[in-house]
Amino acid sequence: MYSVIVRGHMMIAHSLRGEVFGPAQALHGATYLVDVEFRRPDLDADGIVVDIGRATEALGAVVGELNFRNLDDVPAFKGRNTTTEVLARAVFDRVVAAIRRGDLGPGAKAIESVCVTLHESHVAWASFEGPVGPVASAAQ
Amino acid sequence: MYSVIVRGHMMIAHSLRGEVFGPAQALHGATYLVDVEFRRPDLDADGIVVDIGRATEALGAVVGELNFRNLDDVPAFKGRNTTTEVLARAVFDRVVAAIRRGDLGPGAKAIESVCVTLHESHVAWASFEGPVGPVASAAQ
Amino acid sequence: MYSVIVRGHMMIAHSLRGEVFGPAQALHGATYLVDVEFRRPDLDADGIVVDIGRATEALGAVVGELNFRNLDDVPAFKGRNTTTEVLARAVFDRVVAAIRRGDLGPGAKAIESVCVTLHESHVAWASFEGPVGPVASAAQ
Amino acid sequence: MYSVIVRGHMMIAHSLRGEVFGPAQALHGATYLVDVEFRRPDLDADGIVVDIGRATEALGAVVGELNFRNLDDVPAFKGRNTTTEVLARAVFDRVVAAIRRGDLGPGAKAIESVCVTLHESHVAWASFEGPVGPVASAAQ
Amino acid sequence: MYSVIVRGHMMIAHSLRGEVFGPAQALHGATYLVDVEFRRPDLDADGIVVDIGRATEALGAVVGELNFRNLDDVPAFKGRNTTTEVLARAVFDRVVAAIRRGDLGPGAKAIESVCVTLHESHVAWASFEGPVGPVASAAQ
Amino acid sequence: MYSVIVRGHMMIAHSLRGEVFGPAQALHGATYLVDVEFRRPDLDADGIVVDIGRATEALGAVVGELNFRNLDDVPAFKGRNTTTEVLARAVFDRVVAAIRRGDLGPGAKAIESVCVTLHESHVAWASFEGPVGPVASAAQ
């Protein structure tokens, strides 16, 4: 299996509901380093999994929608906790949608699965991994 | 599949028996950066894999037992080599036990698998990954 | 010259005023990795610059005051932009005050200068460096 | 499953053919950090996956063949694009061959799979993962 | 003293002349992570050393001139070795020129010194540091 | 001012005397990532501060003397605490001696100062910086 991974980042504010979050129930924020891994069993005719330039642009577009925002005010997350796990899934869904729309090029449709990792600090990170196919189509 | 990873560290002395270890047969030591990954297919009602605070505390308790010690004198490792691989497994077993005891909260019992990675330097690391269920119960 | 550096982190929300900040004028947030460097020309009788344990606790106390907060609501920053540079200085001032109060131990009073670095992402960071003496006494 | 990972690096020149590569069609270069992960379900009698010293030497031999070269002139890559993905596979094939030749010791023949990751920068990396057995025998 | 640091990167081919370079006399290449530090004793009215956005763009313009090139063919380096040190200086000179031209904004003219660090791998890096004023004016 | 930095590492056991060290008074150990920075105002005729290959070998020789040892048994440290600060100084003294002996080549004698940084974990490190000349001659 081949993989290509590109990194971006976003800086957001949010608050979390639930006693489990302790002081993180207050409005605070995070820088998320966002790594997106694209996987497929074979390379295309150019010898690549995906065009790294287009993958980086697609990731930039996804994080650009969330960057410099207070996620408590973003309609897509209304009524939900924007935990690192939930955000990893949200980035996953948006990247998968971009693949399907052809934003990463026609060859990228051969990508079988994607794994998104969000680093919230040097001591904690989270990820969501899934197929580009059926599971994601029901996603979120 | 969702994952959450937390990082801790420990600083230990030990020696290794066997010609394969060359100069590492002498008493020496290591700082291990210890990453524990928790995996489950779905999030709980709060939108998390595990409470990062409790996961960090549980990891702190596990490495706290070994930190600042000479592992050659730790009964649990008597007659065994405390290689990075063996220590990754030892941390895995202790983290899985903590999950089962409920130290990470009742929701954490839905965690399906755990992967522990120990970094011994910037150029070498090792890990052990396994299910929280049957395999671990027979562990080592 | 000897140095010791310890790392902590904090996760905050804030907004910045001024056209220069573009989209960062909106409420957003950041994870700051916070590195504090302590410098002195000679070691104490124990062979240290500062007790790393106490330095880490002192840093924890400083970032603990700001962690999980919206800095727009913190009185100490009223009317000021909480840029990475300003926050580096704010941490510096608080660490220097802790040194003077003796929180890092009596030996730590021999520390001549401190440098605080805040990493806002993997591609941008800022620092403030100054003497523990006169400059800081007029600080902020 | 147990893993051991060792890191090396190589500094090469190359050019890439195909419009998808844009400016990377020109002769340029890269430093690749090369991580090789060795995986097996059980440890050997010494408590290891593989001798880290021999693994590091074997990796050094593999990258040593490519280091400080213009890959456009290396016969093994004639007519092919030396993308990060292709190079990850090339390192994989050479490491697997080394395992089979016994360069990593007789115990290393129990290694079931290998994953090679090449970091081309702090924001992009690629990997190839496969079994040591049948798939690799047909490799490249 | 305040500092702000931004990171970019470039991927180049080159060869080095002189026996001291051993195998690096052959045409090879490197990924350079390029960190530029801007220093000044006081912040501007917005509370910044320099606009991080403009600093990142200016760095992008500087590395963009060299990225994806064979430095052996770049006239500016004719007859000179493009060692990591020399390239650090070349980036320094170009960044200083950008400051003077006002590319980083009028406030950036208060920057007193700049330090450029080029990481050629995870185990070697080099830097050049100098004042924005007189020394640089005679540069290169 | 130009700098070149090379990284090595060593894995040692030791214990520390003094109440300030708390649990680190017991025999334990550390992996130290060891960064040595060489500084000089001008480059040599080859365009370098120091031959990175020879610098890496010299660092390898220095850490090779201490690697895989229990520092409590090393005569050079008899009666002294081998804190990270003291070890940074010990590496400094040995690197400076190597420069003076000509181990880094005749050109390396133009190096004016050296800074040695030892990383004991991802959250703590220490350094010693000094001139190659008079201060070091009285060292230790």
Q: What string of pLDDT tens digits covers the 140 residues of chain F?
A: 999 999 999 999 999 999 999 999 999 999 999 999 999 999 999 999 999 999 999 999 999 999 999 999 999 999 999 999 999 999 999 999 999 999 999 889 999 999 999 999 999 999 999 999 854 444 44
Mutation to test the E interface, candidates C17, C25, C81, C85, most E Cβ within 10 Å: C85
pLDDT in tens, D66-82: 999 999 999 999 999 99
Residue ranges of chain C with pLDDT lower than 70? 134-140
C-beta of residue A64 within 8 angstroms of C-beta of residue A9: no
Q: Contacts of residue C31 in chain A, CB cutoff 8 Å?
A: 29-32, 120-121
Predicted local distance difference test score (pLDDT) of residue C52: 96
DSSP codes joined into one string, chain B = -EEEEEEEEEEEEE---SGGGGGGGSSEEEEEEEEEEEEESS--TTS-SS-HHHHHHHHHHHHHHHTTSBGGG-GGGTTS---HHHHHHHHHHHHHHHHHHTTT-GGGGG--EEEEEEEEETTEEEEEEEESSHHHHT--
Instruction: Report the mean per-residue pLDDT for chain D.
Output: 94
* Contact with chain A for residue D127, Cβ under 8 A: yes
Q: Which two tokens stand for residue B88?
A: 């990754």
Is D30 in contact with E29 (Cβ distance < 8 A)? yes
Q: Distance between CA atoms of B31 and B33, rounded to whole angstroms?
A: 7
Instruction: Quote the pLDDT of residue F140.
Output: 42
Whether A85 and B7 lie within 8 Å, measured CB to CB = no
Cβ pair E81, E17 in contact under 8 A:
yes
- Give me C83's structure tokens: 């840029």
Minimum-distance CB partner of F85 among C8, C43, C56: C43
Neighbours of chain C (3+ CB pairs under 8 A): A, E, F
**Which among E49, E56, E105 has CB closest to C126?**
E49
> Given this model, what pLDDT does residue E138 score?
41
Single-letter amino acid code for the residue at C26:
A
End-to-end CA distance of chain D: 27
E-strand ranges in chain A read 2-14, 28-40, 113-121, 124-131
Give the residue from chain C lying closest to A16, CA to CA.
C68
Contact A126 B51 (CB under 8 A): no
Summarised one tens digit per residue, pLDDT across range C97-107 is: 999 999 999 88
At residue E107, the pLDDT reads 87
Whole-number Å distance between alpha carbons of F48 and F40: 10
Please state whether at least 3 CB pairs lie below 8 Å between chains C and E. yes
Nearest Cα residue in chain E from C84: E48
How open is the CA angle E72-D85-D80, to the nearest 5 degrees? Answer: 65
Q: Would you say F90 and F140 are in contact if contact means Cβ atoms under 8 Å apart? A: yes
CB contacts of B43 in chain A (<8 Å) are: 83, 85-86
B vs D: CB pairs below 8 A: 55
Determine what percent of chain B is predicted with pLDDT higher than 70.
Answer: 95
Q: Which residue has the tokens 């010693």?
A: F128
What is the value of pTM for the model shown? 0.95
Q: Tens of pLDDT along D30-42?
A: 999 999 999 999 9
> Is the model's pLDDT at D134 over the cut of 80?
no
Q: Which residue type is seen at D116?
A: V
* Per-residue pLDDT band at A140 (split at 50, 70, 90): very low
* pLDDT greater than 70 at residue A26: yes
Q: Which chains touch E (3 or more CB pairs under 8 A)?
A: C, D, F
C-alpha span between A126 and B5 (Å, rounded): 6
Place of tokens 């990383």: F119
Among the partner residues F5, F8, F46, nearest to E20 by beta-carbon distance? F46
**DSSP secondary structure code for residue C70 in this structure:** B
CA distance D44 to chain E (A): 31
From the list C79, D7, A138, F43, the residue with the least C-alpha distance to E20 is F43
* E and A touch per CB criterion (3+ pairs under 8 A): no
SS3 state of residue A33: strand
Which residue among E18, E81, E124 sits closest to F52, beta carbon to beta carbon? Answer: E124
What does the pLDDT average to over E29-49? 98
Give the tokens for residue D9: 């690096």
- Is the Cβ pair E7, D122 closer than 8 Å? yes
Q: What's residue E133's pLDDT?
A: 83
Using the Cβ of B79 and the Cβ atoms of chain D, whether some distance falls under 8 Å is answered with: no
Measure the CA–CA gap between C20 and E53, rounded to whole angstroms.
Answer: 9
Place of tokens 């007193």: E112
**Cα F59 from Cα A59, distance rounded (Å):** 41
> pLDDT, tens digit, for every residue of E48-89?
999 999 999 999 999 999 999 999 999 999 999 999 999 999
Question: How far apart are the C-alpha atoms of B117 and B5, rounded to whole Å?
Answer: 10
Choose, out of B16, B115, B118, B127, the residue to mutate when testing the contact with D (most D CBs < 10 Å).
B127
Other beta carbons within 10 angstroms of residue C2's beta carbon come to 25
| DSSP classification of residue F99 | H
Taken in order E74, E75, E81, E85, is the CA torsion positive or negative? Answer: negative
Strands E28-40 and D2-14, by their bridges, are: unpaired
The mean pLDDT of chain B is: 94
Residue A86 has phi, psi (to 5 degrees) of: -65, -40
DSSP letter, residue D71: G
- Could you give the CA distance from residue E15 to residue B21 in angstroms, rounded to a whole number? 39
**What confidence score (pLDDT) does residue D95 get?**
98
Chain F 2-31, residues with CB within 8 Å of chain E CB atoms: 2-8
Looking at chain A, the whole-number percentage of residues with pLDDT higher than 90 is 92
C92: number of CA atoms within 13 Å, CB side?
Answer: 30
Under 8 Å between Cβ of C117 and C65: no
- pLDDT tens-digit readout, B97-140: 999 999 999 889 999 999 999 999 999 999 999 999 854 444 44
Nearest CA to CA, how far is C6 from chain F (Å)? Answer: 4
Tell me if F125 sits within 8 A of F119, measured CB to CB. yes
How far apart, in Å, are the Cα atoms of C137 and each of B109, B126, F136?
53, 48, 33
Pairing of strands C2-14, D113-121: unpaired
Residue of B108, B119, B116, B113 whose CA lies nearest to B133 = B113
In A34-63, the residues whose Cβ lies within 8 Å of chain C are none
pLDDT average, residue stretch B5-31: 98
Q: Which residues of D touch B30 (CB under 8 A)?
A: none
Q: Which residue of C has its CA nearest to E48?
A: C85
Of E23, E27, E122, the CB nearest to D13: E27
pLDDT value for D29: 98
CA B120 to chain centre: 13
C86 contacts in E (CB within 8 Å)?
43, 47
Contacts of A3 in chain D (CB under 8 A): 126-129
Cβ of D80 within 8 Å of Cβ of A1? The answer is no
Residues of C in contact with E8 (CB under 8 A): 123
